[in-house]
Amino acid sequence: MPEPLIERGEVWLVGAGPGDPDLLTRKAEKLIAAASIIFYDALVGTTILDLADPGARLMPVGKRSGRHSRDQRTINELLVGAALTGGRVVRLKGGDPSIFGRSAEEIEALRARGIPVRICPGITAANAAAASAGISLTLRGQSRKLVLVTAHARAGEMLDLDWRALADPAATLAIYMGKAACRQVSDRLIAAGLPAATPAMVVENASLPDERIVRTTLALLDIAVASRITGGPALLLIGAAVNPVDLCLTDDNMRNSPMAMLSTIA
């Protein structure tokens, strides 16, 4: 008889990917089906949860900006409790668990109680956004590195980032949770020396049917978000590799006709 994919008392941190169930790894799909209890994030859709065993318990522990259903300490305690009572536990996280997923806190809490914990990687939002937009995140001779950054900050606080290091014309910036901070991101990067005409893109609901892609420039990032992006999670992509199609990126055009610099693909 084959060994179970998840042992009793074991926890798997599983990447649910960007939202499209077809972008789940085969292993993630098997782990979801094998779990007896699943703690899932707010961005994990019903089409993915439908893959769970009908008898599995589904526990929402999601966090959205300004709307936290559970704090991190409570989530840690729930995972520990489920494992100690013999559950086959999956902690289902949007994207990849190791990229801005607070996995370190959960791993530490579980290991401190002697609970085995393993990770199943997933496709992160930057990959999905670039694929949908038909671009590469790197560009030979121009964009030699990819930098993943979170722009999440507590209410009223300024982002504490190394803006000079981020304002690198040879890098592509993928900024997670950057919608609310897009004006600050734009202003700080320009002040640090990144040209105002640097190509930029906002991707909302990457990989989902209601996905929206807005191509713009660094200087107009806040206008793009305010005028074209609604309530979904959004990723910011900035750099030469994001080069907008059929846009003339000049400071004169940006000043004279800012709305003409926005191109939307819905």
pLDDT computed for residue 142 by the predictor: 86
Annotated active-site residue in 41, 93, 96, 168:
41
Domain of 199: which CATH number? Answer: 3.30.950.10
For the stretch 94-142, pLDDT in tens is 999 999 989 999 999 999 999 999 999 999 999 999 999 999 999 888 8
Report yes or no: 149 and 174 within 8 Å, Cβ to Cβ.
yes
Model pTM score = 0.87
Residue 241 tokens read as: 């590799």
Active site residue 41: yes
H or E element that contains 189: helix 182-191
Tokens linked to 213: 């892609």
Domain count, the chain: 2
- 70 and 194, same domain (yes or no): no
Domain boundary (62, 97, 120) is at 120
Task: Kindly state whether residue 231 falls inside one of the protein's structural domains.
Answer: yes
Q: Report d(CA 178, CA 73) in Å as an integer.
A: 25
Q: Give the residue numbers spanning the domain of 140.
A: 125-265
- In the set 30, 63, 187, 222, the catalytic residue is 63
Domain assignment present for residue 143? The answer is yes
Which of 120, 150, 171 marks a domain boundary?
120
Q: Where a domain ends, among 88, 120, 152?
A: 120
Q: Which two tokens stand for residue 124?
A: 């992160």
227-262 residue pLDDT tens? 999 888 999 999 999 984 444 343 444 434 444 455
- CA-CA distance, 265 to 250, in Å (whole number)? 22
Task: Give me Rg for the CA atoms of the chain.
Answer: 20
pLDDT for position 161: 92
Packing angle of the helix pair 221-228, 182-191 (nearest 10 deg): 170
Angle at 39 between CA 35 and CA 40, to 5 degrees: 110
Q: Could you report the per-residue pLDDT of 136-187, keeping only the tens digit for each?
A: 999 888 899 999 999 976 555 668 899 999 999 999 999 999 998 999 999 9
